[in-house]
Amino acid sequence: MPAAERHDELVRGLHSVSTGHPAGQFHHPELNPDQEQTLLRRNYLLLQVGQASLGLIGRDVLGLAVEPRPGGIVLHLAVRQETREVAEDVDDICFELEAFLAGGPEQRSCVSTRIYVGPADKDWPGSAHALLFLAKLADG
């Protein structure tokens, strides 16, 4: 097959991706449409949570993970200790996230949080979800 025909076939394939999402151009052919939508949603939520949390992750936060659920988003945080500052930062992150989601495909999603006091290790419930932030542990 000549190069021009291969290019045209590839372009047709890229345009046929049914998600309508800009990332659809990077479609992985082994994913079915449901898997693709799940991955695109997870990545979208990770980006939005990352944007919402800029400057709001304090020194007591050891880890932040995102769990997409049907109709909702759970933010999992591992913290050294629960403090007033941690509670304020988490409230601010949720407020900012809801603002970023407004007007978009996740505008009706319920945002909730789960705070875990302890290290962001395998026992942390957030470790099973999409990791956004992990604190660097001090040596010694």
* Domain residue limits, the chain: 31-134
Q: What is the pLDDT of residues 35-65, one digit of tens each?
A: 888 988 999 999 999 999 999 999 999 999 9
Please state, in angstroms and rounded to a whole number, the distance separating the CA atoms of residues 25 and 19: 10
pLDDT value at position 3?
Answer: 56
For 1, 19, 23, the CA distances from 12, given in Å and listed in that order, are 15, 14, 16
Q: pTM of this prediction?
A: 0.78
CATH, range 31-134 = 3.30.300
Residue 31 has pLDDT above 90, yes or no: no
Angle at the Cα of 128 from the Cα atoms of 63 and 18, rounded to 5 degrees: 110
